[in-house]
A and B are shown apart, each in its own frame.
Chain A
Amino acid sequence: MATVERPLQRPVGIPQASAAPSGWLSWFSTVDHKKIGIMYMLSAFVFFIIGGIEALLMRIQLGTPNNTFLSPDVYNQLMTMHGTTMVFLAVMPLNVGLGNYIVPLMIGARDMAFPRMNALSIWLFILGGLMLYSSFILGGAPNAGWFAYAPLTEKGPTLSATHGMDYWILGLTLTGVASIAGAVNFIVTILNMRAPGMKINRMPLFAWAQLVTQFIVIFAFPSLTVAQVFLLFDRNFGTRFFLANEGGDPMLWLHLFWFFGHPEVYILILPVFGIVSEVLPVFSRKPIFGYAFIAYSTVAIGFLGFLVWAHHMFGTGLGPMVDAFFSGASMLIAIPTGVKIFNWIATIYRGSIQMKAAMYYALGFIAMFVIGGISGITLASPPVDLQQTDSYYVVAHFHYVLFGGAIFGIFAGTFYWFPKFTGRYLNETLGKVQFWILLIGFNLTFGPMHELGTQGMPRRIYTYEAGMGWDFWNMVQTVASFGIAIAVALFMWNMIVSLRSGQRATNDPWDGATLEWATASPPPAYNFASTPTVHSRRPLWDSKYPDLDVAHSPTTKPVKRRELAPLDLEELNRPVEPGSIHLPSPTFAPLYVAIALCVVFYGILYLSTAAIPSVIAIVVGLGFFAFGVTVWLRAADRDNASAH
């Protein structure tokens, strides 16, 4: 654990160490938050495609009654991997990737607080995802749902017989370590690396959302880790945490899992709230309505998120008092969430709206998220939940929130920040066509699930009888799900074409308000030639339009912008002599450490079935880990020496 490193130095005029790996190798040794952000987004997008293919296969199977396209066992594996992939390997890392790229720019920093640990996070995430997927070729994927309910997930001929669930446990633990390391990094970065003058109440709302999200990560993930450790021991080392016939209690799994699982849905959606809070004001040409309400309601949601986990357990008979408490607490969350929605609507209201593709997605987000939120409130009522739980109504609910909410919002962020990432625009027309196909395909895929669920169609079934009244809508859903696939394919096409020949973007293509638009597109390695000094919440707008006042928003006192010292845009982008700004030098150490941990984890996985090779793997892995840490410390020392 000696891998805690020194934070990034403020720039000093010392030439940078040369001999850095170049070409494609440089991606393996990079510690630049922007490159790491891109790596996060691209790998998460690949997992999103894989998860989508799994969904399409499931939809083909469910399109007609009594279908035999997939066997029940394969269906279970696809369902588990789909859910696991979308939650842990797609939406979460897409948010992390956007944050990694944008947050340091937004707060006027040169990098994350711990650049090498940032690299460790991306490698642990990628290797953890690959480890999870290697289960398909190494004896069978996990097959008991992304919630992994014990005792179904215990080892046994009628339960989970293969090593699949062990892959689920250990692969996700690797990505979990990545998440916690990343969360620590974000928290320190946002709290400690803000540009002069950027007080906490001047931070962009995206940074606020990321900050709260990362606090949720550090407090929620340990509960999952503990549950996974217990399950691993039950399956492999003869313990009996969840085995009722030995005094263990399956309810313990439910509590530990959902104490993590409910906050997890906020880990998925809060950063998206942040994205939308950046996109809407820029395209409405108005400051966000109720900045403080949005910031504080994010904190309130983060807090309340830890008090409601048992609303996933109404069906288990906790008793009326417990149910009442968790029902009430769940409904309370609607208040801060509703506050946000009204703030967003008020932001658009009477704005001079520019209907760019990013704006389409942000508006689509609001509409779809409201539908998912309302079905969520219905589910928070125990009598309704008892009727609907384990039916397709729940499937409809969480897809409206996760797809209609998170994915639409992430598309909004992608269209918005793509010019910053690449220096080129995504094609607007293609983007809008994609939006409409996605919106229609999405609603026809998941809308009818409300109806099917109410009609009693259970979730997690691999087929159903004809004549139950479910055939028509299932067929519609399957056809429509290919509409979603077309939309995603269109987006990939858009990305490829735009990368090669998209229209060139300026530094500030949308006439933006926050600091990331004050530097070049794409930004130089050091972000800003000098650190900006901030005097307001919208430093760039206030510099560009000194004569406007900020009276649009009733919550801020009218201030003449010209009273605020503007950003010196020329100074921020002044040509810098290469090497005159000290940045942490690239190193392979984080990659070594991640590979070492991965080897150790494979060893643990097979410890109960192939003891000797496993012990060898663990010993070799630990040795390589020590080597990696040594290289890491050397790199850190070298950087510090050249910075002093």
Chain B
Amino acid sequence: MSELTTAHAPAAHGSAHGETSLGVDSRKLGIWAFLGSETMFFGALIVTYLIYKPVNAARSDAQLPHEMLGINFTALLAAILLASSLTMVLSLASIRKNDQKWFTIWLAATAGLGLCFLGGQVYEFTHLYHEGLTLSSSLLGTTFFVLTGFHGTHVAIGVAWLLSVLFRSRTLGYNVAEHMDVELVGLYWHFVDLVWVAVFTLIYLLP
């Protein structure tokens, strides 16, 4: 069946999985399509937050986000999440050099930073609940918790995914040719980070 290989587009760089018509790894293309869908998902959530922002501000008992939440703690969380994107890049770079040790360290660090972010978010949520801002206390609570909550859920899924890659790399071992698992979770992770940049800017930085 060697005629299969001859007429085909060359394999993507580093792809161990045969030729594809576009020359891009199929799983990577799949993740890109999925992330396109996720962009629309967060787009709708963010637009809803924006639509209700003036409504919230106009209320006589208006609870304004930056007054309620303060910015310092969340800024720290944002920094943690951004740092995790960096460790993710380092992890992928390590496996590309087949450096198993640093690959594992950076991957574990990424998952750890993600867990820190989640812990911080849990702390923030409970704190706000005690201050009286809840899902049903006002439209601000509604939009705030649903938007950040869905982002948090995505982070949690990302952490589970990272941990499963970590676990599998320990048991199966990944090598240079097979780093696609790492690349895929990396794409997802960077996306989740990017969304947080948008959400953070929107909720905490914009007047």
Contacts and interface: CB of A to CB of B under 8 A. Distances in A.
Interface of A: 1-2, 4-7, 9-13, 113-114, 180, 183-185, 187-188, 191-194, 196-198, 218-223, 225-227, 229-230, 233, 237-241, 246-249, 252, 256, 259, 530-531, 533, 629, 633, 637
- Across chains A and B, which 9 residue pairs bring their CB atoms closest together, nearest first? A238-B136, A196-B7, A7-B26, A222-B41, A222-B40, A226-B44, A192-B20, A218-B37, A239-B142
Contact of A219 (B40, B161, B165): B40
A420 B156 CA distance: 46
B56 interface: yes
B174 interface: no
25 contacts: A6-B180, A10-B18, A12-B1, A113-B26, A183-B37, A184-B30, A184-B34, A184-B37, A192-B29, A194-B21, A218-B37, A218-B40, A219-B40, A226-B44, A226-B45, A233-B146, A237-B135, A238-B134, A246-B139, A247-B59, A247-B139, A249-B55, A256-B44, A259-B44, A530-B3
B165 A226 contact: no
Contacts of B59: 247
A360 B82 CA distance: 61
A113 B31 CA distance: 13
A226 B160 contact: no
A221 B36 CA distance: 11
Contacts of A225: 41
Contact of B1 (A11, A192, A198, A259): A11
Given A222-B37, A247-B55, A188 B29 contact: yes
B193 interface: no
A7 B22 CA distance: 14
A187 B20 CA distance: 13
Interface in B135-191: 135-136, 138-139, 142, 146, 150, 157-158, 160-161, 164-165, 168, 172, 180, 184, 188
A63 B157 CA distance: 53
B206 interface: no
Interface string B50-89: 0110011001000000000000000000000000000000
Contact of B136 (A1, A11, A237): A237
Contacts of A185: 30
Interface string B103-145: 0000000000000000000000000000000111011001000
A248 B139 contact: yes
Contact of A531 (B4, B26, B172): B4
A192 B146 contact: no
Interface residues of B, number: 55
A229 B146 contact: yes
Given A7-B17, A219-B37, A247 B45 contact: no
A312 B126 CA distance: 42
A10 B40 contact: no
B37 A221 contact: yes
Nearest to A581: B1
A252 B41 contact: no
A340 B91 CA distance: 51
B3 A223 contact: no
Nearest to A9: B18
Contact of B139 (A7, A10, A221, A240): A240
A1 B33 contact: no
B48 A226 contact: yes
B27 interface: yes
B33 A183 contact: yes
B27 A4 contact: yes
B33 A230 contact: no
Given A196-B7, A637-B172, A219 B36 contact: yes
Given A1-B160, A247-B139, A230 B41 contact: no
A249 B51 CA distance: 10
B97 interface: no
A259 B44 CA distance: 10
A102 to B, nearest CB: 18
Interface of B: 1, 3-8, 17-22, 24-27, 29-31, 33-34, 36-38, 40-41, 43-45, 48, 51-52, 55-56, 59, 134-136, 138-139, 142, 146, 150, 157-158, 160-161, 164-165, 168, 172, 180, 184, 188
Contacts of A2: 160-161, 164-165
A533 B55 CA distance: 61
Most buried by A among B30, B55, B150, B158: B30
Contact of B30 (A114, A198, A233): A114
A13 B18 CA distance: 15
B37 A180 contact: yes
A193 B21 CA distance: 6
A376 to B, nearest CB: 25
A191 B21 contact: yes
Contacts of A247: 52, 55-56, 59, 138-139
Contacts of B45: 226
Contact of A192 (B4, B24, B31, B43): B24
Given A113-B26, A197-B7, A237-B136, A188 B48 contact: no
A638 to B, nearest CB: 12
B182 to A, nearest CB: 12
Given A222-B38, A237-B135, A247-B52, A533 B3 contact: yes
Contacts of A230: 48, 146
A633 B27 contact: no
Contacts of B40: 218-220, 222-223
Given A2-B160, A196-B6, 17 more contacts: A2-B161, A6-B27, A7-B17, A11-B1, A13-B1, A180-B37, A184-B33, A191-B29, A192-B29, A222-B41, A223-B44, A237-B136, A238-B134, A247-B59, A247-B138, A247-B139, A637-B172
A281 B19 CA distance: 33
A240 B142 contact: yes
Contact of B146 (A183, A198, A239, A246): A239
Contacts of A191: 21-22, 29
A192 B22 CA distance: 6
Contacts of B150: 229
Contacts of B139: 240, 246-248
A412 to B, nearest CB: 29
A187 B29 contact: yes
Contacts of A227: 44
A534 B24 CA distance: 21
A198 B22 CA distance: 11
B56 A222 contact: no
Nearest to A247: B139
Nearest to A7: B26
Nearest to B158: A1
Nearest to A246: B139
Contacts of B38: 222
